[in-house]
């Protein structure tokens, strides 16, 4: 159903794009026809002047010769433009239609937003609908919003107890990438990225993990938080059974203000999942916290910085 919906959206967008192209070409064609009509009318007027007015003027042979050549050139150019240009326009339109037809299967974006913060509410709704056994994966630089704002500490706690499984990757405060991100964002976003990572880890994440220290027998799900240290990744990622979001981190913009898109294309979802799986494996040496029914780890107090 998700795949069919994605293809339907793709077809609608293709039709929408084709409609716009046809409108553009048709509008341009009508403008061209008006121009051609003006040129032909001008040529005819010059011919009429040459036939009826110039004979009444003495020594007008030279002027008559120029007007005849000019009128003939104008009418000839108008006819040439009319035949060649309109023909080429239709050929280009057919080529564009063919391109859209063949690329329709490659359209994988369902929705795009100018700022990732616009997708915070869909994430909350998605988590509210999550059921026992569902797995949610997410990658971010700090991920403070994920634990404090949307979806927030309380919703995460309830979903972990009810049986949802969370895998979270955030940036290690000693990562070589952090210096680059810090230099690009200090004037336009977070003034101290390393400090923000430490505050998030030692604050709301530590609080959430410690709440599960007692009564773990009630937990049906799990949460594991890892830190990527020197893995090249400058993107936000969220994945569940029904929602996939991807967003780059751009220079001079806070993460949640970067553009983002959702996709239901199965092939592209698998590519994103493979990226997450690689990051997850390469981050196995940096487990920040891990909680399930039988295991509890909290390495946050030993976090450097």
User: Per-residue pLDDT tens for 263-304?
Assistant: 998 988 999 999 999 999 999 999 999 999 889 999 998 887
| pLDDT value of residue 104 | 54
**Helix 153-162 crosses helix 120-129 at what angle (to 10 degrees)?**
30
What digits encode the pLDDT tens for the residues 84-98?
666 666 666 666 666
Domain end point (choices 106, 131, 154): 106
What H or E segment, with its residue span, contains residue 210? helix 206-211
- Closest Cα to residue 21, out of 76, 72, 117, 89? 89
Which range is least confidently modeled, 58-67, 144-153, 218-227? 58-67
What digits encode the pLDDT tens for the residues 9-68?
444 444 444 444 444 444 556 666 777 788 888 888 888 887 877 777 767 777 777 788
| pLDDT value of residue 274 | 94
Q: How far apart are CA 196 and CA 198, in angstroms?
A: 5
| pLDDT value of residue 1 | 39
**Per-residue pLDDT band at 146 (split at 50, 70, 90):** confident
User: Both 141 and 89 in a single domain?
Assistant: no
| pLDDT value of residue 174 | 85
As a whole number, mean pLDDT of residues 216-241 equals: 87
User: Both 138 and 276 in a single domain?
Assistant: yes
DSSP 8-state secondary structure symbol assigned to residue 133: T
User: Both 79 and 147 in a single domain?
Assistant: no
- Closest Cα to residue 163, out of 239, 123, 219? 219
CATH code at position 229: 3.30.870.10
Q: Residues with Cβ < 8 Å from 255, sequence gap 6 or more?
A: 116, 140, 141, 142, 189, 236, 247, 249
Which range is least confidently modeled, 101-105, 225-229, 230-234, 235-239? 101-105
What digits encode the pLDDT tens for the residues 163-199?
999 999 988 888 887 777 777 666 655 667 788 888 8
| pLDDT value of residue 22 | 43
| Phi, psi for residue 297 in degrees, rounded to 5 | -130, 140
The two beta strands, 135-139 and 165-171, are: parallel
| pLDDT value of residue 132 | 93
**Residues of the domain holding 244:** 111-302
Domain end point (choices 76, 106, 136): 106
DSSP 8-state secondary structure symbol assigned to residue 110: S
User: Both 77 and 152 in a single domain?
Assistant: no
Number of structural domains (the chain) is: 2
| pLDDT value of residue 55 | 77
Domain end point (choices 51, 82, 106): 106
User: Both 259 and 273 in a single domain?
Assistant: yes
| pLDDT value of residue 45 | 87
């Amino acid at each position: 159903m998700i795949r069919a919906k994605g293809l339907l959206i793709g077809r609608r967008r293709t039709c929408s794009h084709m409609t716009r192209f046809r409108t553009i070409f048709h509008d341009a064609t009508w403008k061209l026809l008006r121009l051609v009509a003006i040129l032909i009318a001008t040529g005819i007027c010059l011919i009429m002047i040459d036939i009826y007015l110039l004979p009444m003027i003495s020594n007008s042979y030279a002027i008559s010769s120029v007007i005849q050549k000019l009128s003939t050139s104008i009418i000839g150019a108008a006819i040439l433009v009319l035949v060649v240009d309109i023909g080429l326009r239709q050929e280009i339109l057919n080529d564009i239609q063919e391109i859209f037809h063949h690329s329709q299967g490659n359209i994988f974006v369902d929705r795009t937003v100018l700022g990732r913060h616009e997708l915070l509410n869909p994430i909350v709704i998605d988590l509210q609908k999550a059921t026992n056994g569902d797995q949610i994966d997410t990658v971010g630089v700090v991920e403070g919003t994920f634990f404090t704002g949307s979806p927030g500490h309380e919703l995460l706690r309830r979903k972990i107890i009810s049986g949802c499984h969370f895998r979270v990757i955030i940036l290690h405060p000693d990562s070589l990438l952090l210096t680059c991100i810090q230099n690009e964002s200090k004037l336009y976003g977070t003034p101290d990225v390393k400090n923000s990572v430490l505050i998030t880890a030692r604050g709301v994440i530590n609080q959430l993990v410690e709440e599960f220290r007692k009564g773990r027998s009630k937990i049906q799900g799990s949460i594991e938080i890892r830190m990527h240290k020197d893995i090249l990744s400058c993107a936000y990622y969220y994945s569940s059974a029904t929602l996939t979001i991807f967003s780059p981190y751009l220079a001079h913009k806070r993460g949640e203000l970067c553009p983002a898109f959702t996709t239901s294309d199965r092939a592209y979802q698998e590519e994103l999942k493979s990226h997450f799986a690689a990051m997850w494996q390469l981050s196995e040496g940096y487990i920040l916290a891990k909680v399930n029914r039988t295991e509890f780890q909290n390495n946050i107090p030993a976090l450097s910085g």
